[in-house]
Amino acid sequence: MHRIEAYIRLAVLFIIIISILYLPILFTLKKRGKSVTRQLSYIGLICSIFLIIFATILFVPITFQPEEHILNIKPFNWIGNTDSFQQVIVEKIPNIMLFIPFGFFLPVVVKSQRRLYKTALVSFVMTFSVEFFQYFIGRSSDIDDVITNLLGAVIGYGIFKICQYGLENKKCWHKLLQDD
């Protein structure tokens, strides 16, 4: 549970910092007729990418000469372990939660990503790249992380589609999706 709280605190902190840094751009683009709602979606995507990079790569010390490389390529190997419930709470749920905002904001911001397979492909490439990089910096690489991250992105995309159908006649939703 401590790991989930740490991710939530980091997310809030990053959103505040990026929002403050983005304020001058917000006012400049607002004067040029760009929707504030649309700009907030950019902030959401930037924050989600930054949080993914920070939580998966920068959160612990990096060493390019680790004593050992840990690689798990057997999916769901943790099921049946005595502490599998704790592993779900500590590792799997945060991995899912980490990619939900990315799965939502990617199709909102990038019009060409408004199909599930495209959002899933970009999410897969991102999470695979992170796991590949983690292997070489002394962190563990786990196929389950790829699966749970991809699941989180798909859930985020599902939330996007629910909003798209539920809010399709709302002005705020059209402003959010407008092309620049």
pLDDT tens column, 30-65: 666 667 777 778 888 888 888 888 888 776 666 656
| Cβ neighbourhood burial of 78 (10 Å; 0-12, 13-18, 19+) | middle
Give the other-Cβ count within 10 Å of 146's Cβ.
21
CA distance 125 to 27: 34
CA distance 2 to 48: 20
**Position 180 pLDDT exceeds 60:** no
**Position 80 pLDDT exceeds 70:** no
Q: Specify the pTM.
A: 0.78
CA distance 26 to 127: 30
E-strand ranges in 17-169 read 70-72, 140-142
- The pLDDT score that the predictor gives to residue 82 is 57
